[in-house]
Amino acid sequence: MKLLEKVTLGKQTLQNALAMAPMTRSRANSEGVVSDLTTLYYTQRASAGLLITEAVNISEQAQGSPLTPGLYSEQQIEAWKKVTKSVHDQGGVIYAQLWHTGRVGHSVDRKGKLPVAPSAIGITGQQHFTSQGMKDYETPQELTTQEIRQIVKDYGQAARNAIEAGFDGVELHAAFGYLPNQFLSESANLRTDAYGGNIENRNRFVLEVMQELVDVLGSDRVGIKLSPTVYYNNIVNSDPVAQFSPLIEALNELPLAYIHLMNGMFPLDNFPKNPKNAVETFGEISKHLVIGNAGFNKESGEAELEKGIAKVISYASLFLANPDLPRRFQLDAELNQPDKATMYGGGEHGYTDYPFLED
């Protein structure tokens, strides 16, 4: 079974071809510090070939949701050290996913400050989860060129902090409608300067951040997650192939560890130019190791690996509910089902109390 075969990722050897996908769990404290419960959570799942953390705020400005972890204070870094050490003690490999939410946030959880974005365009038709309940999105403040350059530096500092905290590498969260994805989207980015107006300019922010991360960490320690055909959070591209193909070609020039591609998670009937299989369409362009994500089970994940484009498959809710997922796949064992009611916030229930297979 290819899912259970070892894989070379950069300078490391993964014990199998399963990755745990990033999943927001909202278990940090109000200061963005993870607890010993988070250490247990990741340690339980260290049999994954690659662990990618929940999205981690790169700065105070980056935060959009309550109780999400950060990687910009000494207290946050020290707490993550416990996680990485415990995972490494179990033979695991762990990357930190670096997060700036952009306009996907609310001022009630940002000390009264409005979210920021490429353009002053708010999200409509959805509400945001806040510490005060569900709220309509606000109109974000448009970033200045100087502020954009500072955010690029903030990513670099977060990467330094990640290495100090013991992570093996970092992944840029450029998917699912967060800040980098907002720059890529013609519906969220109406700028007319160097960061907007055409495809090359809309790609510029992501490429500058990726260059910054590589400059800080060197080769084979940086990945990126992209969702070319996910239109959640009001993200629209009329022609994803035209937008993302040159981006991936430019990423080919950087010494990355991998590119993490997310399939469309919503019906694409109204988007005829959106490829049905983003992993295949865009993975064929990439010279880097490809991780396929979104909607895979054991059988479809194995089938995707058999095609030869993706080398690793990442699983989200299956890993959430099955800390020993590789063993369950190996034994063709029954899977625990995730409890959606306990995915976000709370304590150990629905977090660290999912049962392992009995020996």
- Check residue 70 and report its DSSP letter: B
**Is 42 noted as a catalytic residue in this protein?**
no
Contacts of 63 (CB under 8 A, 6+ apart): 32, 57, 70, 101, 105, 109, 110
Write the DSSP assignment of 11-37 as a string of letters.
TEEESSSEEEPP-----S-TTS---HH
Catalytic residue selected from 178, 195, 315, 354: 178
Write the DSSP assignment of 120-182 as a string of letters.
S----S-EEEETTEEEEPPPPEEPPHHHHHHHHHHHHHHHHHHHHTT-SEEEEEE-TTSHHHH
Decide: helix, strand or coil at residue 351: coil
β-sheet bridge partners, residue 223: 171, 258
Contacts of 340 (CB under 8 A, 6+ apart): none
The set of catalytic residues is 178
